[in-house]
Amino acid sequence: MSNRLGFSNRFIAVMALTVLVLLLPTPAGLTVEGKRALAAFVFTGTIFALQPIPLPFAGLIVPVMLVALGLANATQAFETLSRPIIILILGSLFLAEALRKHGITRRLALLSIVTSGGRVDRLLLGLMALAALLSMWMENTATAAVLIPVTLTISSQVPDKEQSKELLVLLVLGIAYAASVGGMATITGSASNAVASEFLAEISVWRFIDWMKYGLMALIFVFPATWWTLMRVVKVSLKELDIEATRRELENLGEMRGVEREVLVVLGITILMWMGGAFIEDAMGLPSTFLSPAVVGVIAASYMALRGIIQWEDVKGVSWGMFFAIAAGLALGEALKRSGATTWLTGISSPLLSGTPYIFALVVVVFASALLTNVVNNATVAAVFVPIMIDLAATDPAFNSVRLVLPLTMATTFGYALPSASGRMALISATGIVESRDMIRYGMLMTVVSSVILIALFYLLGMVNLI
């Protein structure tokens, strides 16, 4: 009963804030419809942050609110669920489920532990590298959920309880941060990436490889700094641990089976097609978009279903909330644009950013995005602010949209301080492994470190005209 009451109170708070925005005077230069769009933004942000209802339902109710506020008809509100980017994410999650079902992710985790030789610094590096790699193709929270049980097994083998706790905190935080950083690298890595890519595709040709060439650079620079900083701020007295039990478990798994190899081959081919499908289409004269990422993802999932590698029962547990969050973000972004709210917000932002050096604009958008993501769903942040950056770039020749959109969107992965920042941080909070004060303390430090590196990277890319 108390849980239900708590959820009811949270929903009342969501509605109260939304109604408050509707009752406020309409600001100068903003239409009444635009004010309703701002109310929809407040509704979306608070329902995702407070989650009075589970994430999938929250994502579905946002389009309903857009219709209720007169910002879209039913077709416009729910059309975003059929976008190719949604199908692409669906295909990637089916691939991830095949990796999980056939034990490939656990095998890789055990292999990284054995390869470390028991040294804590190498162990952390190996698990973080695995988390980052998986998060490029899997949903970030799913990656953390797969790997955190491995850290529990490792820490349980440490006899000293204090050392075991220290090691567990270090490994869990490393996996959570690395899953976030890995998500920067690809469109499939984060809901905010998917939302931003969809808006970029509306103004110019924007492909999977276009995001990846910048996302990989960000990963290469931010990842080692994350590992290095963690090793120095999270105090662990244990320097080496016994990994014989893990070695025996890996040996008991035996050689990789045929189905495991087949899954890895399918994944490898799919990734190659995601990166180069458009070029193959042109070279072979295939129909346009036949090898688009969405179609390739469906083909890969269908092949595995035909081969019996995955069944429908296997994929029922995928993160459906992610699809609805992306679709809700896109629908909100479109409503903000149609209502003129985006133009109005661009007008407010323009005096702050227009005519300023690129480095100043980077500092503003990256830190604002990283901090805001602690309390607002990252897809919502992208849905609201990416169109603003695109509009700003269209009116100021000193900027181009990609220079602003990419760092802003990638910074949404740096929400490390609060459980509301992401599913993986909520997961860590729910386990009780990391105390709240430590999550905030370490999270804010890592947010600053990651943001500074991202700013420096994009500034250098801009200086040498590589973006």
Does residue 328 form part of some domain?
A: no
Does residue 409 form part of some domain?
A: no
Reported as a single tens digit per residue, the pLDDT across 315-346 is 776 677 777 888 888 899 999 999 999 989 88
Under DSSP, the state recorded for 146 is: H
Q: Are 227 and 128 in contact (CB under 8 A)?
A: yes
The beta-strand segments (E) located in 209-335 are none
User: How far is C-alpha 208 from the chain's CA centre?
Assistant: 16
Q: Rounded CA gap, 61 and 52, in Å?
A: 12
Q: H or E segment at 362?
A: helix 358-372
Does residue 98 form part of some domain?
A: yes
In the predicted model, what is the mean pLDDT of residues 188-215?
91
Residue with tokens 């799913």: 142
Does residue 397 form part of some domain?
A: no
In the predicted model, what is the mean pLDDT of residues 433-447?
91
Does residue 147 form part of some domain?
A: yes
**Domain range for 133:** 84-315
Phi, psi of 370 (to 5 degrees): -65, -40
Q: Rounded CA gap, 184 and 382, in Å?
A: 13
Reported as a single tens digit per residue, the pLDDT across 155-183 is 888 888 899 999 999 999 999 999 999 99
Reported as a single tens digit per residue, the pLDDT across 81-111 is 888 888 888 888 888 888 888 988 888 888 8
Rounded (10°) CA dihedral 461, 391, 63, 140 = 10
The amino acid sitting at 279 is F
Q: Which residues of 98-122 are buried (b: 16+ CB within 10 A; e: fewer)?
A: bbbbbebbbbbbbebbbebebebbe
Tell me how far apart the 2 most distant CA atoms of the chain are, in Å. Answer: 70
Q: What's the token pair of residue 114?
A: 């054995």
Q: Residue 1 pLDDT > 60, yes or no? A: no
Q: What angle do CA 143, 423, 65 make, to 5 degrees?
A: 130
Q: Residue 300 pLDDT > 90, yes or no? A: yes
Give the model's pLDDT for residue 96.
83
Among residues of the chain, what percentage have pLDDT more than 70?
98
Q: Classify burial at 89, counting beta carbons within 10 Å of its beta carbon; exposed 0-12, middle 13-18, buried 19 or more.
A: buried
Under DSSP, the state recorded for 8 is: H
Does residue 101 form part of some domain?
A: yes
Number of folded domains that form the chain: 1
Does residue 53 form part of some domain?
A: no
The dihedral sign for the CA sequence 315, 423, 223, 242 = negative
Does residue 150 form part of some domain?
A: yes
Prediction pTM value = 0.87
Q: What's the token pair of residue 34?
A: 């635009």
Q: Rounded CA gap, 272 and 432, in Å?
A: 40
